[in-house]
Amino acid sequence: MRFESEFLSLSDLPGISALYLAYLNDYPRLSPFYAGDPRSPEAVKIVAGRVEKRAYPRAEVALALRAQHARWGGGPEGLANIQALEEGAFVVFTGQQAGLFGGPLYTLYKAIAGLKLADKLTRELGRKVVGLFWMAADDHDFAEINHTFLPDKGNQLARIAYSPKRPPERQPESRIVLEEEIAQAHQVLDEALAPTEFRDAVLARLAECYSLGRTFPEAFARWMMLLLGEKGMVVVDPSDPALKQAGKNAFRWEIETGSESSNRIRKASDELKKAGFHVQVELREGGTNLFFYDGERHSVKKVGEEFEIHGKTFSRQEMLERIEQEPEQFSPNVALRPIYQDTLFPHIAYVGGPAEVAYYGEFKGSYEAAGLPMPVVFPRTTVSLIEPKIKAVFEKYHIGPKDLFSGLEPLITRLVEGKQDPSADRELEVLEARLNESLDRWSKAAEQWDKSLLQAVSTSKGAIKHQLEGLAKKLTQAYKRKNEELVDQVRKAALHLLPEGTLQERAFPAVPYLVKYGFRFVEDLYESLDIERFQHQVIHLDYSSHNPLP
């Protein structure tokens, strides 16, 4: 089924850079830094023509991908795409780190967008285009991938973490093996989620993927295959020795040129700064964009005409010999990764988020220096999922996601102030004044008629004042109760949409939604995701919730 959606300008979202907005709305201003406007159908055709003229190690890559696909438990749809790649298909790439329990939602959105863009370009080019997912298995930032967040059954933000007794230090993801502590992470997740008809089945499949003895990338890839395998998902593990062998010329180029990639990136960075934009990749002087693994992952530094790895010095020739003999020990950083990737694959389009769009703006010179066609960069779809109970809160208070994105506390203040009715307080004041005036007239009359009535009037006046004061207090308490309910409901809505001030898609995994709605959620999301508007998509999940917001 296709969910109902609304769309917001990306400028309404918190933390969106000026460069990203310019890329979407004022492309000519940034055109010198990119391969083509993603809104132009001709842009991809031009890049495809350039890619068509190059030779790629298709057979070697396909052989490696088939072996990987079998390890991930992939199905025939992915194998068909690998076969198409070997026979001449173009490639759309997206990618992400191999996060715990599938990583944040935007990982799934990127994967879906890549597959849908590949289908779209296949139709437009009249040539098969396959969507591949580049799993950043060479990365070594364990603290980024070892945890996730979700709203628990008490509507509190729960942190789920994999915390081995000895946290891996300077180890690429490909070498991090899940130890017995993964069972504790599953247990915490299990306790956080309310019972539903889908819960046990979803958590059982998740536990099969993220199980003792698997590496982080294998666990992640198996989960992605479970979610999108029938759509032809192919997950690429670039740490594979077979791919390092096929793509080692990218590493050779980095050493032979003394890191010409760094020179080109610094030049582009300076030009972006002059144009008034930030730079995503800041390179240090004296570095290269390579790492070497010798039990730990170390950067390769350039010292004059020589190179240094963890305090040891090597000549250029020695480095080239090591690359030739053991390419699997080398890996690119973020700046060289596109060169390694596009040495291997006939890559025509990349689906990336704001940070990736920004750093691709620094890479055009590297592509030119390496003699590689640069892909057209397509902004990924950003998404907020609105469940029925959240929608009910929005409708009750006449607000929407945009109001939350503008700031939670200002929104609460505005709503509370708007709910208070100052006329009620004024009516009590007027009533008290009128009663006092009437009683004063009674006092004057009593003084003339019967002075013994003065005490009764005075007593009545005091009693009325007491009653009015009590009524005012009850009115104040009612305001407070009403405001407490408002504040509580809006804060709970914010927890689901903007947890800790972060976009939902960057904090939550897909797991809680799969637990509520079953694996059909992925199919419905696939059908609903819009990849052409380049706006923020607000998707209203319109089937019954199994874990409603109280």
Tokens of 453: 């009535």
- Tell me the Cα Rg of the chain: 31
Residue ranges of the chain with pLDDT lower than 70?
420-432, 438-440, 442-454, 457, 461, 472-473, 475-480, 544-550
Element (H, E) at 300: strand 297-303
- How does pLDDT run across 441-474, given as a tens digit for each residue? 756 666 666 666 667 767 776 777 777 777 766 7
In a domain, 539, yes or no: no
In a domain, 399, yes or no: yes
Tokens of 231: 């759509």
- How does pLDDT run across 388-408, given as a tens digit for each residue? 999 999 999 999 999 999 999
Side-chain half-sphere exposure of 216, counting CA atoms within 13 A: 30
Which letter does DSSP use for residue 347 in this model?
A: E
- Beta-strand relationship, 129-135 and 90-96: parallel
pLDDT reported for residue 545 = 43
pLDDT reported for residue 547 = 40
Q: What angle do CA 175, 284, 259 make, to 5 degrees?
A: 75
In a domain, 449, yes or no: yes
Q: Where are the alpha helices (DSSP H) in 36-97?
A: 41-52, 58-71, 76-86
pLDDT reported for residue 483 = 84
- Nearest alpha carbon to residue 543 among 508, 516, 510, 515: 516
In a domain, 486, yes or no: yes
- How does pLDDT run across 127-150, given as a tens digit for each residue? 999 999 999 999 989 999 999 999
In a domain, 147, yes or no: no
In a domain, 400, yes or no: yes
Give dist(CA 357, CA 390) in Å, integer: 31
Give dist(CA 495, CA 393) in Å, integer: 13
- Beta-strand relationship, 297-303 and 147-151: unpaired
| Count of the separate structural domains present in the chain | 1
In a domain, 354, yes or no: no
pLDDT reported for residue 460 = 74
In a domain, 477, yes or no: yes
- Nearest alpha carbon to residue 103 among 70, 64, 133, 75: 133
pTM assigned to the model: 0.89
Domain of residue 496 covers 394-501
- How does pLDDT run across 290-316, given as a tens digit for each residue? 999 999 999 999 999 999 999 999 999
